Amino acid sequence: MSEKPTVLLSAFADEAANGKTAREQLSALAALGLNYYSPRFVDVTGSGTVKHVVELSDDELAELKKLHDEYGMSVASIGSRIGKVKLLDQEDGSHNKYVPFEEYMAGEVANTIRAALALDAKLIRGFSYYHPKGEAPEPYLDPAAELVGKITDEFAKHGITYGLEVEANLIGQNGRTLAGLAERIQRDNLVLIFDGGNISSQNMSPVQCFEEYVAMRDHIGWIHIKDYAVDPNLEWKGYVDEERLKNFVPANVGDSGHEMILRDFKNHISELDARMKKLGAPGVFLELEPHLKGGGQFGGFSGPDGMGVAVRALCSLLDYVGIGYNLRTMDDIRRLRGF
C-alpha cells in the first residue's frame, strides 16, 4: 500500500491565546501537538505591549527565537500585512491607506524581511493591494503585478518565497484574479495561498469555492484553513464588511467545500512538496486561521478552546479524505528533553 501524501500543520498563534504573550501562544499550539506556527501580533516580553511581528526590535526577535527552542516550535511563515494598502492615492470612501511605493519598500517590506531572517522563516504571507472600492479588480491587474513583482524580487535576494493570499475586497479577491496576477508576475518564488473562508464569505457556494480553487491551483504554495457559513439574511453588496466576518466555523461545517477541495489537493501534494522544498520550505502547509470567535481586516481570534476545535475538525477531515499529517509524539517530547 502506498503511503498517504502528507502535509504539515501550522496555525496563526495569536488566534490561540486569550492574551497575546509569546509564551501563551506557543504553549497553546504546542499543547495541541503543532510544531509550526505563523507569528502575527505578539507580546514577546510579557510587558502588556502587543506588536505586529514586523515591528519587533532586534532584541525582541532574538528573544522570540529563543522561545521557539524552548517550546519546540518553528515558523511556517511571517503573517505579514504587505499589500493591504491602496494601489492608488485616491479617495474611495474606504479606511484603507495609501503609502508611496519606495517608502513602503524601505519600511514595511524591509522590516518584514528583517523579521523573516531573524526567525528563520522561508515564507512570507502577503496580499494583492486594494483597488478603488466599488470598481472591478481586473483593470488593476497590470499595475498591481508590477508592484508585487518588485516586492517578490526583493524577497528572492534573501531566499524568501512570497505567498499571495486570496481575500475579499482586494485585487486578488478570487482565484481567477489572483491567478491573473501570478501569470503576469512569473516569478519562481511567488506562490498563491488558497483560503476557502475568504471565498465563501463573498456569498459563494461550495461549488463556486471549488471553482475558484481550481482557477488558482497551479500556483498554490500552501492553504489556509478557514470555513464560513453563508448567512442568507445578509444582503450581498459586492464588498465584505465587518458584520459579515462573524460567521466563521470549523473546517467543513460551512460553505467553503473543504472536503471537495482537499480530495483534489491530495493528488497534487507530492509534486507541490518537491517544489516547496526546492524553495527552502520544509514541505506543504495547511495553516489554521479559523477566526472562530471573530475576524477582521488585519487579524482574527479563536481562543485556545476555539483553536482546539479547529485543529480537531481539520484532522478529522484529513483522516476522512486520506491526507497524512503529524502531531507531536512521545518521541518528540523526549527529543525536546534531550533524551
Kindly state the DSSP code that residue 69 receives in the 8-state scheme: H
Q: Which 3 state secondary structure label does DSSP give 35?
A: coil
CATH of residue 321: 3.20.20.150
Query: Would you say residue 1 lies in a domain?
Result: no
In angstroms, the first-to-last Cα distance of the chain is: 33
Is there a domain that residue 2 lies in?
A: no
The yes-or-no verdict on residue 3 having pLDDT over 90 is no
Q: Residue 36 in contact with residue 313, Cβ under 8 Å?
A: no
Please give the average per-residue pLDDT across 138-165, as a whole number.
98
Q: How many residues does the chain have?
A: 339
CB-CB neighbours of 282 under 10 Å: 15
Residue 132 domain-assigned? Answer: yes
Whether the per-residue pLDDT at 2 is higher than 90: the answer is no
pLDDT tens-digit map of 321-337: 999 999 998 787 777 77
Please give the DSSP secondary-structure letter assigned to residue 108.
I
pLDDT per position as a tens digit, 114-145: 999 999 999 999 999 999 999 999 999 999 99
DSSP 5: P
d(CA 190, CA 99): 22
**Please, are residues 39 and 75 in contact by the beta-carbon 8 Å criterion?**
yes
Residues 6+ apart with CB under 8 A from 265: 213, 217, 220, 223, 323
| Residue 167, domain extent | 8-336
Question: Of all helices (H) and strands (E), which one includes residue 195?
Answer: strand 190-195
| 216 membership: H or E segment, kind and range | helix 206-216
Which grid cell is 273? 512538496
Q: Is residue 167 situated within a structural domain? A: yes
Domain count, the chain: 1
- pTM to 2 decimals? 0.95
Q: Is the pLDDT of residue 298 over 70?
A: no
| Predicted pLDDT of residue 335 | 77
Number of Cβ within a 10 Å radius of residue 96: 17
Residue 1: per-residue pLDDT: 47
Q: What is the predicted pLDDT for the residue at 235? A: 80
Give the mean pLDDT of 145-154.
98
**Bridge-partner residues for 288, per DSSP?**
11, 225
What distance separates the 2 farthest-apart alpha carbons in the chain?
61
- The predicted structure's pLDDT at residue 234: 82
Domain for residue 297, yes or no?
Answer: yes
Model confidence at 171: pLDDT above 50: yes
Mean pLDDT, the chain, as a whole number? 94
Residue 61 included in any domain: yes
Residue 52 domain-assigned (yes or no): yes
Q: Would you say residue 3 lies in a domain?
A: no
